[in-house]
Structure 1
Amino acid sequence: MNRTTLSLLAGTAALAAVTGFAALDPPAAAPAHAAQAAAQLPVERTTLLCPAPSLSDIADTSYTSFTPVTQGTTSDGKAELQAATEQSADGTSGKKKKASKPVLTPKAPGTPATGDTSGADGPAYVGTAEGRYAPGWTVQATTEVAAGTGRGLQGVTCTPADTDFWFPGASTAAGRTDYVHLTNPDDSAAVVDVELYGKDGRLKSSVGEGITVPPHAGEPVLLSTLSEDKQTDLTVHVNVRSGRVGASVQALDDKTGGDWLAAAADPSGSLVLPGIPKDATDVRLIAFTDGDTDADLKVRLASPDGLITPAGNETLHVKAGMTTATDLGDVTRGEAGSLVLTPTDQSVPVVAALRVTRGKSGKQETAYIPATAPVGTRATSADNSGKGTTLSLTAPTGTAKVKVTASAGSEGGTAVSKTFTIKSGTTQDVEAPVPSGLKGTYALTVEPLSGGPVYGSRTLSATEDGIPGFTIQTLPDDRGTVAVPEADQDVSVLQR
């Protein structure tokens, strides 16, 4: 999503900063300028941003940190999840306020660590992991709200900072209270534009332009204050003019609960939205395309038996610059499913998300599934329990073999692995392994071994008073490794 253009020199420096490694040894017997395959090396530093968890006085939030064991890491390192502490913005002192106690202290790779907060005063957090703690470091915030707007289960995976985010699925309709949370990890202020796109195009607003996010601070922005236009389906675009931020949308409903809406995958002509719960009672698809060209999409459901076309929802027409939404009803019909969107003809980049509802009228809960990138090398999911976890995997274009590992528990237990085969065009709610002798929570890592690309999501469920509370997090690559190209000395450049 980061559109910043770097020079070759700056790009090389940034790579060295991430990996802490750059090979500049003279070539041995290899021919001059021979192409070398890039090596996949563990990252040496990871920064994650967690939004302030809730504005409810009766909210209880748990944080879970996990680093999977990664070969090739250093033997040292550290990690911490610290409250974002606002710095002086007048440029005179630059001193941080007194640091508060970390909400959790990560344990050694392979074992989760937990912490918690309660009430409406929980801050945004900035987490940093270095050395052996950095590769694949994942932090999950899970909040339970017993009553009121957004009641139910809310979950968010803390994310790296970036400069460009798309959130299809937000709303300013009556009964909805949606915030976009902006978290700045840096020493200088960030300047952000928040744009809203509805069914007729961009909503008029000057309030969303040039929002200042102070250094080391979180800033929740209520969407209804940015425009007087009340619309059921909106796409939020967060564009950072200067600096960088973490961004997430908290979508809260007076009657049907709420959840966090994570940023959708980069605009693409083909999208996968994995892991619709099999007992979903209503699924709503929201899509948006930026630019001047309409998009026409083929809509298919990857079921346990293969790709099928939902009756009455075979295609979706998305007008340029406008948010389009359609109800798919109980599209899964009691089976696991993932939505697969592909162009009917011309490929036009699109962003999309699903709003998923479980339960019956009066006892409903909602969660969101944004389009996501494939698992890639490895994906990590923290804060799993022995009974309330569902792992959903889909292989839309080719059969894939996948290894799933359950870590040790946060308070005890032994790691266990299983291997699964996901047939082409299908979605499977796999029977994920559980650590033997589990105490506390555990993490899941998903590693494709062979075959086509795999997409995944994890659902946490906790029913209270007959209300099926749940939250869904997608499983893109955990960025545990980075490709580092071989670099050789070329003294001939000194003679040119």
Structure 2
Amino acid sequence: MKRTTLSLIAVATALAAVTGFAALTAPDGTVEVPPLATGPMPVERSSLLCPAPSTSEVAETDYTSYTPAGNAAAGAAAKGDTAAKAELKPAPLAATPGGTPAGKPTTAKAPGTVTEPGKPVGAEANGGAAPALTGAATGALAPGWTVQQTTVVPAGGSRGLLGVACSAPDTDFWFPAASTAKERQDYVHLTNPDDTAAVADIELYGPEGALKSQLTEGIPVPAHSSVPVLLSTLTGEGAKADVTVHVTTRSGRVGAVIGSADDKLGSDWLPASADPAGTAVLPGIPSDATSVRLVAYAPGDDDADLKVQFVGENGTIVPASAQSLHVKSGMTAAVDLPDLTRGEAGSLLLTPSDPKKSTPIVAALRVVRGKGDKQEVAFIPATAAITARATVADNRAAGSTLTLTAPGATAQVKVTASAGTQGGTTVSRTVTVKAGTTTKVTGVVPAGLKGSYALTVEPVAGGGPVHAARVLELPQNGIRMFTIQTLADDRGSVRVPRAKQDLSVLGG
């Protein structure tokens, strides 16, 4: 997803102004340039958006908010920063296009706020009136601020365990593995964190290309509000099992995520895929997955021919069920991968069949565990490698499994378990992931844990790329309910360019 560079431009401009001032005011007439950092610096503000968790009256939602202690790239943030805040505020539901039900209005309070790096804060919200949330962290609490929203719906049409890492606002999102099928209820949730209205467009692409749609252009998202849009109401072309959704904004920024409920398979959140790229890694496939379906889309002008590989605990293999996938330009392609895992946790690796021809694609997996009426579903989007640091919150003493995949060279990472929301002591471990394999990490749990905790992953310098995901399992009524969250860089630091002194800008 594209990230704005306006803040970097402003920083560079300010630094240039400071440099010019120093040069003009040097007491002995010489040019003096103040020292300027060129490496990563801790961010001073982070924004996150959480969708409305559920409309079910029996829903139980847990929030975990956390800022890691320190910044791996630029040193620890200043301690004792009394101006630092990390808080979430309710974002009321706004009118939806085409008369889509907007749910119930609410005056519910937002979760508790983080007051200190390294200590997660938990909160609960029950019932179907919990709102979407918008939030910001500033000062020492901004670098790496992470919020996890976990919802259990034990019964009903939206039955399932739904987990999502609250995301940063953006202007461009791709969602393969969505659907307008009759058994699916897929809503795209658009949340606006800003003081002015945003305007969003939604495009749908099926197996034959773009779907004729209505009410998808110029969708208003009022300031500090959320709009859920039912995908099946946006097209009259009939039900499509596999759809790629493209969300962009004409003005403003939004958070976007798809909530999917299947009549037989349960429900979960579908986060956006990583930016279009020629190679994709989809991490976190459980060892006991009974069904895995790959959905991919090529947004450019060229078709994509992909080699499909499974990176398991014992190495990388080409699955017999689908050794390759052809993705036509502008069309959604899908393939089932039966017997993919063969008892190993792993990741799916997509690479160009011809190394000399790399065509950008986006991709996601629909993963099912269980059989019959005990099935449960989760989604895995293509996810970029962790380059600096990534965190996933709301891990439990039992039922949490971290998976690390090194698709290329051998890698090492430092895994840190934070203190618990109600007590416990931080624990760290260095983990080696052999080239072309996936490693399951268990047992990195805070000493004396009470409540839930966060896991932070930091690559050790000199190793290969690492992709990570967390599987959280919370059995309910004989169903092994689960959700999968992939780990992405936590945006805890930003690289500040060195400003070069130039007196020519001060006069003719």
The TM-score normalised by the length of structure 2 is 0.90
* Pairing 1:162–2:170 present: yes
The amino acid of 1:364's aligned partner reads: Q
Q: Give the whole-Å Cα distance in 1 for the aligned partners of 2:13 and 2:452.
A: 35
Partner in structure 2 of residue 489 of structure 1: 501
Percent identity at matched positions?
A: 58
| Matched-pair contact (CA < 8 Å) for 2:85–2:115 | no
Partner in structure 2 of residue 134 of structure 1: 142
How far residue 305 of structure 1 moved from its aligned partner, in angstroms, is 1.9
| Matched-pair contact (CA < 8 Å) for 2:93–2:227 | no
The amino acid of 1:388's aligned partner reads: G
Partner in structure 1 of residue 491 of structure 2: 479
* Pairing 1:469–2:473 present: no
Partner in structure 1 of residue 261 of structure 2: 252
Q: Give the whole-Å Cα distance in 2 for the aligned partners of 1:22 and 1:385.
A: 50
The amino acid of 1:427's aligned partner reads: T
Q: Give the whole-Å Cα distance in 2 for the aligned partners of 1:358 and 1:23.
A: 59
Partner in structure 2 of residue 12 of structure 1: 9
3-state SS, counterpart of residue 463 of structure 1? coil
| Matched-pair contact (CA < 8 Å) for 2:59–2:128 | yes
3-state SS, counterpart of residue 467 of structure 1? coil
How far residue 121 of structure 1 moved from its aligned partner, in angstroms, is 1.1
Q: Larger % of strand: which?
A: 1
Q: Give the whole-Å Cα distance in 2 for the aligned partners of 1:247 and 1:318.
A: 25
| Matched-pair contact (CA < 8 Å) for 2:171–2:253 | yes
| Matched-pair contact (CA < 8 Å) for 1:41–1:72 | no
Q: After superposition, what is the alpha-carbon deviation per residue over 1:345-386, rounded to whole angstroms, capped at 9, x for unaligned?
A: 211110000000000111000000000111110000100001
Equivalenced residue count is 482
3-state SS, counterpart of residue 132 of structure 1? helix
Q: Give the whole-Å Cα distance in 1 for the aligned partners of 2:426 and 2:17.
A: 34
Partner in structure 2 of residue 60 of structure 1: 60
Q: Give the whole-Å Cα distance in 2 for the aligned partners of 1:23 and 1:423.
A: 48
* Pairing 1:330–2:330 present: no
The amino acid of 2:383's aligned partner reads: T
Change in Cα spacing, 1:86 to 1:387, as seen in structure 2 (3 Å) is closer
Give the unaligned 5+ runs of structure 2.
Answer: 96-104
Partner in structure 1 of residue 191 of structure 2: 183
Equivalent in 113, 123, 133 of residue 115 of structure 1 = 123
The amino acid of 1:47's aligned partner reads: S
The amino acid of 2:417's aligned partner reads: A
Partner in structure 2 of residue 92 of structure 1: none
Q: Give the whole-Å Cα distance in 2 for the aligned partners of 1:350 and 1:282.
A: 22
Alignment of 1:271-282 (within 5 A): 271-282=280-291
Change in Cα spacing, 1:99 to 1:150, as seen in structure 2 (3 Å) is closer
Partner in structure 1 of residue 373 of structure 2: 362
Q: After superposition, what is the alpha-carbon deviation per residue over 1:13-47, rounded to whole angstroms, capped at 9, x for unaligned?
A: 16789xx999748699xx999x9982111111111
Partner in structure 1 of residue 389 of structure 2: 378
3-state SS, counterpart of residue 468 of structure 1? coil
Q: Give the whole-Å Cα distance in 1 for the aligned partners of 2:76 and 2:406.
A: 29
Q: Give the whole-Å Cα distance in 2 for the aligned partners of 1:452 and 1:196.
A: 36
| Matched-pair contact (CA < 8 Å) for 1:276–1:356 | yes
Partner in structure 1 of residue 155 of structure 2: 147
Q: Give the whole-Å Cα distance in 1 for the aligned partners of 2:107 and 2:182.
A: 40
How far residue 304 of structure 1 moved from its aligned partner, in angstroms, is 1.3
3-state SS, counterpart of residue 460 of structure 2? strand
* Pairing 1:317–2:326 present: yes
Change in Cα spacing, 1:23 to 1:59, as seen in structure 2 (3 Å) is farther
Change in Cα spacing, 1:87 to 1:249, as seen in structure 2 (3 Å) is closer
Q: After superposition, what is the alpha-carbon deviation per residue over 1:273-301, rounded to whole angstroms, capped at 9, x for unaligned?
A: 01100010010000001132110001111
Change in Cα spacing, 1:147 to 1:339, as seen in structure 2 (3 Å) is same
Q: Give the whole-Å Cα distance in 1 for the aligned partners of 2:435 and 2:155.
A: 42
Q: Give the whole-Å Cα distance in 2 for the aligned partners of 1:491 and 1:98.
A: 57
Give the aligned CA root-mean-square deviation in angstroms.
Answer: 2.7
Q: Give the whole-Å Cα distance in 1 for the aligned partners of 2:106 and 2:147.
A: 24
Give the unaligned 5+ runs of structure 1.
Answer: 89-96
How far residue 221 of structure 1 moved from its aligned partner, in angstroms, is 0.4
Q: After superposition, what is the alpha-carbon deviation per residue over 1:69-108, rounded to whole angstroms, capped at 9, x for unaligned?
A: 11342331111111125899xxxxxxxx998643222231
| Matched-pair contact (CA < 8 Å) for 2:66–2:454 | yes
Equivalent in 243, 250, 257 of residue 252 of structure 2 = 243
Partner in structure 2 of residue 417 of structure 1: 428
Q: After superposition, what is the alpha-carbon deviation per residue over 1:430-466, rounded to whole angstroms, capped at 9, x for unaligned?
A: 2241000000000000000031110000010011122
Partner in structure 1 of residue 100 of structure 2: none
The amino acid of 2:179's aligned partner reads: S
Q: Give the whole-Å Cα distance in 1 for the aligned partners of 2:376 and 2:54.
A: 17
Change in Cα spacing, 1:47 to 1:305, as seen in structure 2 (3 Å) is same
Change in Cα spacing, 1:255 to 1:15, as seen in structure 2 (3 Å) is farther
Q: After superposition, what is the alpha-carbon deviation per residue over 1:53-73, rounded to whole angstroms, capped at 9, x for unaligned?
A: 012111111110000011342
Q: Give the whole-Å Cα distance in 1 for the aligned partners of 2:331 and 2:205.
A: 6
The amino acid of 2:171's aligned partner reads: T
* Pairing 1:73–2:84 present: no
* Pairing 1:209–2:217 present: yes
Q: Give the whole-Å Cα distance in 2 for the aligned partners of 1:3 and 1:381.
A: 21
How far residue 495 of structure 1 moved from its aligned partner, in angstroms, is 5.8
3-state SS, counterpart of residue 13 of structure 1? helix
| Matched-pair contact (CA < 8 Å) for 1:143–1:154 | yes
| Matched-pair contact (CA < 8 Å) for 2:69–2:76 | no
* Pairing 1:394–2:411 present: no
* Pairing 1:83–2:87 present: no
3-state SS, counterpart of residue 281 of structure 2? strand
Q: Give the whole-Å Cα distance in 2 for the aligned partners of 1:15 and 1:203.
A: 44
3-state SS, counterpart of residue 232 of structure 2? helix
3-state SS, counterpart of residue 247 of structure 2? strand
Q: Give the whole-Å Cα distance in 2 for the aligned partners of 1:87 and 1:58.
A: 23
Change in Cα spacing, 1:11 to 1:119, as seen in structure 2 (3 Å) is same
Partner in structure 2 of residue 44 of structure 1: 44
Change in Cα spacing, 1:417 to 1:377, as seen in structure 2 (3 Å) is same
| Matched-pair contact (CA < 8 Å) for 1:404–1:432 | no
